[in-house]
Amino acid sequence: MSDALPDAIGASPHMSASSPLVIRIAKHAVLIALFAVAAVLGIASGVVFVFAADLPQISALDDYAPSTITRVQARDGDVIGEFATERRVVIPYERIAPRLRQAIIAAEDEDFEKHVGLSIPRIVIALVRDMLEGRKAAGASTLTQQLAKNLFLTPEKTWERKIKEALIAIQLEKRFTKDEIFALYANQIYLGHGAYGVEAAARVYFGKSASDLNLEEAAMIAGIIQLPSRQSPYVNMENALRRRNYALSRLAAEGYVPAADADAAKKRPIVTVGLRSESDSIAPWYVEDVRKYLEAKYGAKALYESGLTVRTPLDPTLQRAANVALQEGLRRLDKRHGWRAPTLNVAASGLDRYTHPRWERPMQDGDVVPAVVTKADATSIQVRVGALSGWIDKAGYAWTRRAAATQVVKAGDIVSVRLAAYDPRMPPSAGMFLGSLEQTPQVEGAVIALDNRTGQVLALVGGFDFERSKFNRANQAARQLGSTFKPIVYTSAIDRGYTPSSIIQDTPVSYPAGAGRPPWTPGNYDGRFLGPITLRHALEHSRNVPAVRIMDALGVNQVIGYARRFGFEGPLPPYLPIALGAAEASLVEVASAYSVFPNQGVRMRPYQVLGVSDRDGNVLEENRPEPTDAIRADTAFVLTNLLQGVVQRGTGAKAASLGWPLGGKTGTTNDYTDAWFIGFDPDITVGVWIGYDQKKNLGHGETGGQTALPIWMDIMRAWIGKRTEKPSFAQPGNVIVVSVDKATGAQTDAGTPNAIPEVFISGTQPGAAVR
């Protein structure tokens, strides 16, 4: 009977669409559906209610101001340093290359322009994958959801975070346009190596703006968004190529580029600018000084997050010249001390396995780079630099004074090589580049260049290598002054009635040294005494005894008082040996003091920051020169002329070959621990110091004229450049020129043998009444 029941029912003539039973069933179904919808809406409302109070205020994005880069600029606007916790440069939508916008959308969210913040198909696929794999799989998030997570949430994979992410994404879509959302996303994402946003990434990887990226560059940046820490070309080139090519395929699939163009781009290598370090700045010590100044004045948060713009007076051309001159000068000095055997050999671990971080950065002719020796024979050395092989002939290691290359190195040694006949584009199969052997100097040095009229620091080098030592020897190291102090002594003498023609005795003399001590007997560098000589001759040839005699005649405290006016702030013991530079001072103090002479007696406080602006262009700080009258203009001109004589005829005579109005003074300590040359033209003053951090002998004969002066000349040669119009030192109206005998200082006719033009403050010339 049960088997017949369905047929009976199905055949009943009384059952129809309008029967009460059907109507009741339909009503129940509708009620059930309504209850289901209400339940879903209720649950959704509950979820929204639960999480809404905990959601961030989207309106805060109207004033979007993320952490951005503080940039330090040279005088020409070039960036010489950056500080940031997040290396970001915020740019508008219009400055993002169309190809880059398309690549990001194709690779990350092809329906970006169509959805309202969520992609239902993606969510369904992700849910199915979650159930199948038993985990919360990635891949459902739209660009808007990624932006929501990056701006407001943590990366943890929880249902709570995903719900909040979806709710925030919907709010973002309601409040902002698609272009605005994309710009926020493109400026916020992390792309590796401290780069946040596409502009910073374009500069880190390709050295250009995001607006200038080509097809394959745009595809690479878009491709590594998912996991830059593993897909960066600086970390794993194979992964980077794979992800770039994926983005290129997506561009073609979405119709943004022809397939042929995408295929052609896939065949091209990824060419980056090389990952740079802070020492790649042309002025790392200068930038570090600026960092300390900014942090002390504005605080670390403003420095690293607020995107300040800092203008400096640094002259890039002069700075590069100072870098090269000091490096080459220290290498020359180091080579005079002979070859030191390499301390690292990698033969045991395999010559082919050795790599060095420097090989990842760009190289060019003239660079000194690490290399591994692969072979050495009687007359040559073969080396490897990255994938390239090099060759050093006998001329390239002749300075070691070893006959055979096998006496210098062996296979596996890690050495320094200067690249020559090197083309960075050459493939490994192209043959061998030519090189020469170098070694890292142990000696240190420093350089500073000041604008005479303003005190602006135009260039600064604090040592041989910033990575080796961040200690700034230009302004942190107090070193024994040697003969660089003598012009201070002679300045006080000129102000007290002495003239360049005054006769000083260069004869033996002794002074009491205190109870129980033998008398102090100063001597000259050459061990000789010349008898009566002019003050000019004494300064030009850096005679010690006349300087001590003058200081004794004037009084020690008198000279110390002058030193304070010149800006020397450290201890100056009131003893006669400070006439010969027994006291200590920093290079910047000495250079600043010398700038007084060509600046007509006015000392300008050295400074490195011209101005600071915030991210909106509001000026926070504007600095101006700070002058202090140190000495009279006429006295300053006489000293300037005397120091010109040092360059023309005295211990700095090598510099006369530059054919430029120059003055300066060498400085050498008795035990050759410090070598100086401080010199100037009418516009700038440049100081050079050479020595070891732990005081020790530089080598016999390593005087300021031998060691520091050639470096100074190289810098000044770059400063002079191709200029032919020579500047001149301003001569005050009360300074006159009289012909005198070079040896005796007596007035004589201009045509007389031994006659030289001499400068005098009016009233002090030979034959005039004593003032």
Q: Residue 81 carries which side chain, given as an amino acid letter?
A: G
Q: How far apart are CA 261 and CA 257, in angstroms?
A: 7
Structure tokens at 492: 């006080």
Q: How far apart are CA 643 and CA 627, in angstroms?
A: 23
CA separation, residue 329 to residues 199, 420, 679, 694 (Å): 39, 19, 17, 19
Q: How far apart are CA 539 and CA 639, in angstroms?
A: 10
* Nearest CA-CA partner of 390 in 360, 408, 407, 415: 415
| CB contact at 8 A, 221 and 213 | yes
- Cβ-count burial of 267 within 10 angstroms (0-12 exposed, 13-18 middle, 19+ buried)? exposed
Q: Which residue among 119, 436, 483, 542 is the active-site one?
A: 483
CA quadruple 358, 204, 255, 111: dihedral sign? positive
Q: Residue 646 carries which side chain, given as an amino acid letter?
A: V
Residues in the chain: 771
Q: ∠ CA(452), CA(453), CA(459), 5° rounding?
A: 45
Report how far Cα 720 is from the mean position of its chain's Cα atoms: 24
Q: Which helix H or strand E contains 206, and what residues bound it?
A: helix 198-206
Summarize the chain as % helix, strand, coil (round to 5): 40, 15, 40
| CB contact at 8 A, 100 and 221 | yes
Q: How far apart are CA 245 and CA 266, in angstroms?
A: 6
CA separation, residue 294 to residues 72, 196, 279, 309 (Å): 11, 23, 19, 11
* Nearest CA-CA partner of 679 in 638, 651, 701, 721: 651
Phi, psi angles (nearest 5°) of residue 297: -90, -40
CA separation, residue 521 to residues 27, 108, 407, 511 (Å): 123, 83, 48, 6
* Nearest CA-CA partner of 402 in 351, 330, 345, 335: 335
Strands (E), 377-441: 381-385, 388-392, 414-420, 432-438
Three-state SS for 534? strand
Which residues are within 8 A (CB) of 65 and not within 5 positions of it... i.e. 6 or more apart? Answer: 615
Active site annotation includes 416: no
- Cβ-count burial of 366 within 10 angstroms (0-12 exposed, 13-18 middle, 19+ buried)? exposed
Q: Residue 740 carries which side chain, given as an amino acid letter?
A: V
Structure tokens at 41: 């809406």
* Nearest CA-CA partner of 718 in 317, 367, 281, 313: 317
Structure tokens at 444: 């240190």
Q: Which residues of 82-117 are buried (b: 16+ CB within 10 A; e: fewer)?
A: bbbebbbbbbebebbbebbbbbbbbbbbeebeebeb
Active site annotation includes 86: no
| CB contact at 8 A, 604 and 455 | yes
Structure tokens at 315: 């002259």
Catalytic residues: 108, 483
